[in-house]
């Protein structure tokens, strides 16, 4: 009597394809997270303690470290959960990925709807980065790279560099870089055999048109906004590229969780009917 009923459950199993595909998926990102953490720790150790503490909110190394640690924890749960067929770890992995995906989606929607407020927030971050330009070598390299690539200088305009204590135009500023801008603001002439690394000297004291002959006078915020508008398809592709692995991880983990639950039900069913063969 019970044989037919057991047959309904005999085909429940955990697919090794799903199990090891999820493990491989997590293992790849687990290795990436270890590399990120290692780079972040190394970068932090190479900095002076006082400089590192001064600008944690705009420290690229710290951001890399935080993202790497979070990624390590989540992918570790996925790796161990898939290998051990642990429902608790798999659910934690699935929930974390879902929350991150929803946060990214919400951030994108809010950034689009409240674009003015988002631009204000970006402006605040750039101004804060300018203030700490000389405090963090990683931040300095990031700003220099951005200004060279976008052909811009400062946040809104080149005079924003007066917010930095070294480039400030205050009369009591003893710095040799007073009223100057970084070299990355300069318009380079490829025909020159010797590059003038002091081309940004005292540029904040010059008029807009006069300064424009030597440096980029437009701010990086407008350049960034224009670049975003010109590369919407590229940004959409990047966003999709980030979303697909998350959705794949959520789907695989949920499939595996359901298969494990079905297998547990089958085992409990078989144990129950073995102990009571007349049912």
pLDDT average per 10 residues of sequence, the chain (279 residues): 43 78 92 90 68 52 86 92 91 93 86 75 87 85 91 92 93 91 89 77 89 90 86 85 90 92 81 63
Q: What pLDDT, on the 0 to 100 scale, is given for residue 242?
A: 84
User: 60-84 and 16-45 helices cross at what angle (nearest 10)?
Assistant: 150
Residue identified by tokens 């976008």 is: 150
Indicate the pTM of the whole model: 0.68
Give start and end residues of each alpha helix (H) in 213-277: 220-230, 232-275
**Nearest residue to 57 (alpha-carbon basis) of 104, 102, 124:** 124
Cα 261 from Cα 13, distance rounded (Å): 10
CA 17 to CA 46: how far, in whole Å?
44
In this structure, the number of other CB atoms found within 10 A of the CB of residue 36 comes to 20
Q: Coil, strand or helix: which one is 218?
A: strand
β-partners of residue 218 are 157
* pLDDT confidence of residue 53: 44
Structure tokens at 4: 């037919």
Q: What integer pLDDT is reported at residue 7 of this predicted model?
A: 45
Tell me the β-bridge partners of 186. 215
CB 61 within 8 A of CB 38: no
pLDDT of residue 277: 54
DSSP string, 120-187: HHHHHHHHHHHHTTTT-HHHHHHHHHHHHHHT--SSSBGGGGGGSTTT---TT---TTTT---GGGB-
Instruction: With H, G, I as helix, E, B as strand and everything else as coil, classify residue 103.
Output: helix
Tokens 């000389």 map to which residue? Answer: 134
pLDDT of residue 215: 92
The CA distance from 185 to 87, in Å, is: 54
Query: Quick one: tokens of 154?
Result: 């400062």
Q: Is 6 left (phi over 0), alpha (psi -120 to 50) or beta?
A: alpha
């Amino acid at each position: 009597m019970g044989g037919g009923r057991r047959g309904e459950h005999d085909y429940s199993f955990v697919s090794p394809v799903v199990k090891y595909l999820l493990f491989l998926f997590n293992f790849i990102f687990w290795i990436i997270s270890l590399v990120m953490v290692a780079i972040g720790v190394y970068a932090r150790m190479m900095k002076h303690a006082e400089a590192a503490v001064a600008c944690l909110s705009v420290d690229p190394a710290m951001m890399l470290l935080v993202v790497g640690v979070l990624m390590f924890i989540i992918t570790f749960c996925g790796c161990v959960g898939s290998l051990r067929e642990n429902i608790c770890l798999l659910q934690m992995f699935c929930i974390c990925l879902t929350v991150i995906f929803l946060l990214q989606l919400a951030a994108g929607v809010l950034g689009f709807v409240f674009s003015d407020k988002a631009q204000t927030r970006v402006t605040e971050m750039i101004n804060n980065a300018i203030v700490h330009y000389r405090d963090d070598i990683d931040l300095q390299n990031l700003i220099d790279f951005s200004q060279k690539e976008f052909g811009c200088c400062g946040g809104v305009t080149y005079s924003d560099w007066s917010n930095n204590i070294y480039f400030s135009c205050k009369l009591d500023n003893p710095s040799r870089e007073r009223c100057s801008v970084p070299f990355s603001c300069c318009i380079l002439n490829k025909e020159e055999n010797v590059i003038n690394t002091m081309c940004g000297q005292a540029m904040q004291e010059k008029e807009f048109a006069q300064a424009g002959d030597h440096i980029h006078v437009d701010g990086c915020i407008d350049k960034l906004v224009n670049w975003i508008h010109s590369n919407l398809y590229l940004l959409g592709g990047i966003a999709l590229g980030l979303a697909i692995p998350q959705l794949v991880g959520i789907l695989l983990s949920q499939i595996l969780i359901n298969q494990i639950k079905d297998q547990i039900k089958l085992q409990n069913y078989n144990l129950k009917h073995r102990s009571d063969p007349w049912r």
